Amino acid sequence: MIKKSNYNSAKSGQSKKPTRFGVNKKTSRLAPYGHNKTPDKDKLDAAIAGVSGQTGAVHSLTPINTSGYTSSRQNLRIIPMGGIEEVGENMTILEYGNDLIIVDMGLAFPDETMPGIDYIIPDTKWLQLNKHRIRGVIITHGHLDHIGAIPYIMPKIGDPPIYTMALTAGFIKKRMEEFGLLQRTKINVFKKDDTLALGNFKMRFFGLNHNIPDSIGLSIQTPVGQIMYATDWKFDHTPADGRPSEFQKIAQFASEGVLLLMSDSTNATKPGYCMSERELGQTINRLFSDLKGRIIFASFSTNISRVQQVFNSAAKFNKKVVVTGRSLVNNIEIALSLGYLKIQPKIIIKSEAAKKLPDNQVVILTTGSQGEEAAGLARIARNDHKSIKIKKGDTAIVSASPIPGNERAVASVLSNLTRLGAHVIYSKILDIHTSGHAHQEELKLMMALVKPKYFMPIHGEHHMIVTHAELAKSMGIPDPNIFVLDNGQILEVNSARQAKIVEDPKVTTGYVFIDGLGIGDVGEVVIRDRQVMAKDGMFVIIMTLDRRSGKLINQPDIISRGFIYMKGNDDLIREVKHEVRKICDSKTKEKLEPNWAYLRNVIRDDIGEFLYQRTERRPMILPVVIEI
């Protein structure tokens, strides 16, 4: 079932698209595993063997080919199922022997080419077929692009156990509860210094900064070497939660030799360093001290670091906080109950109580920094929030830069706020947003610390990943050791620690669309239909035909939606009816059995062309035949 590959063969470039970094270079990826010796390897191997024994893992030994290269199950396979061709839907599978582990299970938000779609999740057909081999799911942190797909995917893959840190576990539990799946979910909480053995994989963890506490990187010991997986991260020496990245652990794991580093590319195109959260805290302090009216502060509901800073600044300047937005209220409750958020007692008040306070003592903390229609900020901006109405003197602070695709929605929310009389402070005017993702200098520092043999940039659109690959090259990682993959491509490493990109036709990837209650029932065809209808509308032609002769009995009926307004286009409609009649007559005059499917096709094509000639629009044409 697994494609055999021979690393000595010249056809190393199997990838169908020319996306691999340095694809024109056919240099072999044969560099022997040299400087990266693992001192504790024997001990680890023993531990790993023991664990495999426990889980009953079967190592199928496939024949050795002439180059001495063992194929299939003796190779480590790393399969990114999502997150390397887009921002979001992060999910990576690691496979060795009979064991699979999954790292993260996220969702992505649709772009403007996907009308009506709520979320996108990775395709899991292959995983479903291999669910008996899944040893566990490791979740690196609580953002939706890492946990969002869990309720959709887990029931399909046999609900394998989840392993994660406490805050992330809290977020996952809440989400599973909302989906009615909490009972069947097995969530195991670990601490940063714990180790975890799942089949052939033995894991240790290192703390990373991000804009949510409990973001962890993974050191994964595999039979072929150590992998370091740096999920969304940045280095912040003065973060809001007071816990900087665990540099000494990263260095310690690195000293054992690192086969492969996988690292976040979200900000790979941004030079310099990410601003520290402490500086951002000072900016918020300055705003809170200067602004005289009420403050409406919008942030991501999962951005617990930012929420903490808002509470800090509010306390400092004697302000009370009204929290609005269900997800924000939930997440604050979870973070408070687990001790990840420290706030003054009674600082949170109800909106009714806020009305009795002077304006300069009120902060309204809300969701909707991405312009989401249903979120607090958009409702406030539309003036249909149940308890909060904008008044003159209010200042709205939007603390996030828009995810690509959300710019228009954000802009319209901001404009609505200013129309209602609020003053708006946005990241473009004042850098109120510090990203949760490392900039170039931090990315380089990580590479310098880890000194991996191989490098695979992850998390980002293709151009970000390629930029990250170029940075790696500038750091001295040889071109052939850098791997830029597409979703579903596989990085395979053999027992001689040689790596290459392969493809397995059985590993299917692609977007699974979530629309309302439907998971995956909206496919590309439906999306294409929606695109056509959204662009030029829809044109329905209803023809009542005689069953035997195929002749039109009545005038055809026309329904137009989103294409032209029929009342103002009598002439065009009359012409279309005439054309339809002509086509029907000409196609049914042969004394053959009427073929409705054929007739519908001709109508669709000919009327489509006719309408295009007249209007230069291409509505979706739906010919309907009623036979009597």
Catalytic residue among 99, 264, 394, 536: 264
Is 437 one of the annotated binding-site residues? yes
In DSSP terms, 102 is beta-bridged to 93, 137
| 264 catalytic per annotation | yes
As measured in angstroms, the least distance from the Cβ of 428 to Zn ion is 22
Binding region for Zn ion (CB under 5 A): 143, 145, 232
| Cβ pair 116, 98 in contact under 8 A | no
Q: Report the alpha-carbon distance of residue 179 to residue 66 in Å, rounded.
A: 52
Closest CA to 496 of 78, 13, 6, 20: 6
Asked whether 87 and 461 are in contact (CB, 8 A), the reply is: yes
Choice between 143 and 270, CB closer to Zn ion: 143
CA 367 from centre of chain: 19
* H-helix segments, 475-523: none
- Residue nearer to Zn ion on the CB measure, 105 or 381: 105
Q: What is the per-residue burial (b if ≥16 Cβ within 10 Å, else e) of 272-310? A: eebbbbeebbebbeebbeebebbbbbbbbbbbbbbbbbb
Q: Closer CB to Zn ion, residue 145 or residue 486?
A: 145
How far apart are alpha carbons 397 and 8 in whole angstroms? Answer: 58
Ligand-binding annotation for 486, yes or no, is: no
Minimum distance of Zn ion from residue 272's CB (angstroms): 20
Find the shortest distance in angstroms from Cβ 143 to Zn ion. Answer: 4
Query: Which of 437, 468, 486, 536 is an active site residue?
Result: 437
User: Is 281 annotated in some ligand binding site?
Assistant: no
State both tokens at 376: 């607090």
Q: Is residue 302 marked as binding?
A: yes
433 labelled ligand-binding? yes
Q: Is residue 132 a known part of a binding site?
A: no
544 is in an annotated binding site: no
> Which is nearer to Zn ion, 164 or 416 (by Cβ)?
164
Contact of 363 with 321, CB cutoff 8 Å:
yes
Identity of the residue, 458 or 485, whose beta carbon is nearer to Zn ion in the bound complex: 458
- Between 38 and 401, CB nearer to Zn ion: 401
**Count of H helices and E strands in the chain?**
17, 25
Least distance (Å) from Zn ion to the CB of residue 577? 55
**Nearest approach, Cβ of residue 368 and Zn ion (Å):** 18
Element (H, E) at 525: helix 524-536
Query: 489 near 499, Cβ under 8 Å?
Result: no
- Minimum distance from CB of 88 to Zn ion (Å)? 7
Q: What is the DSSP letter of 21?
A: T
Cβ 336 vs Cβ 167: under 8 Å = no
Residue 571, marked binder: no
Q: Under 8 Å CB-to-CB from 596, ≥6 apart: which residues?
A: 545, 625, 627
Are 508 and 123 in contact, with CB atoms under 8 Å apart?
yes
- Counting every residue written for the chain, the total comes to 628
Q: Which residues contact 195 (CB under 8 A, 6 or more apart)?
A: 202, 203, 204
| Residues designated catalytic | 264, 437
Binding-site residue numbers are: 116, 118, 141, 143, 145-146, 210, 232, 301-303, 433-437, 459, 515
Question: Which residues participate in the annotated binding site for Zn(2+)?
Answer: 141, 143, 145-146, 210, 232, 459
Residues of each annotated binding site for Ca(2+)? 116, 118, 515
**Binding-site residues for substrate:** 301-303, 433-437
